[in-house]
Structure 1
Amino acid sequence: MIFKVIEGGRGQAVLADERPEAGRGPSPDDVRREAARRLSESGYHLSRVREFATGAPMPGALRYLSLQINFVAEALSRLDPIPVDFRSDAYWPAPPEAIRAV
């Protein structure tokens, strides 16, 4: 049996409404929130909790994806200015097929 956390649309609506103020570009905090959103959607946190609870190791691909996402977030946060389209998939790694199926 597989359990999946279901989040309501309100949480995603709040994230979608977070836009930089007029005349200002995205901040490093915006980039960190995007990285956290992508990690959350990948199932990383659930897999990490499962690893602590059961002792079954997290898939290596998911651990590697976390490293990649954190690296991109750090690199984008250091840019001046941060690109307005930093949420674009072009900047972020795609989850491997094995993770998307979970």
Structure 2
Amino acid sequence: MKFKVIEGGRGQAASTDGHTDDRPNRDDVRREAVRRLNESGYHPSRIREFVTGAPMPAALRYLSMQIDFAAEALSRLDPIPADFRSDGYWPASS
């Protein structure tokens, strides 16, 4: 079975996504939250928890909750600060 990527339609709409100005939007904040969560090692630990049944470290679970809270709080600001990627807005992942 072969699959083919169809150009146009949603692909073109996704590239513009209505974001014409330089101000950050909610999607930008969500992408930053996902990036920080990925770098923390949360996902491999979560998968390990499902596979082995060994609980994930509480610190990672708590960090995930903090990142979600920070992303939600930043997304509700109007306007969202241009420097929203700054470490001052996000929990430390140490």
TM-score (structure 1 length as normaliser): 0.71
Structure 1: state its 5+ residue gaps: 1-20, 97-102
Larger Rg: 1 or 2?
2
Matches within 5 A, 1:15-94: 23-94=21-92
TM-score (structure 2 length as normaliser): 0.77
**Percent identical residues:** 74
- Root-mean-square deviation (CA, aligned residues, Å) is 1.2
Structure 2: state its 5+ residue gaps: 1-18
Shift of 1:95: 1.1
Distance (Å, rounded) in 2 between the aligned partners of 1:22 and 1:49:
37
Moved over 2 A (4+): 21-24
Shift of 1:69: 0.2
Distance (Å, rounded) in 1 between the aligned partners of 2:52 and 2:43:
14
SS of the equivalent of 1:26 reads coil
Counterpart residue type for residue 59 of structure 1: P
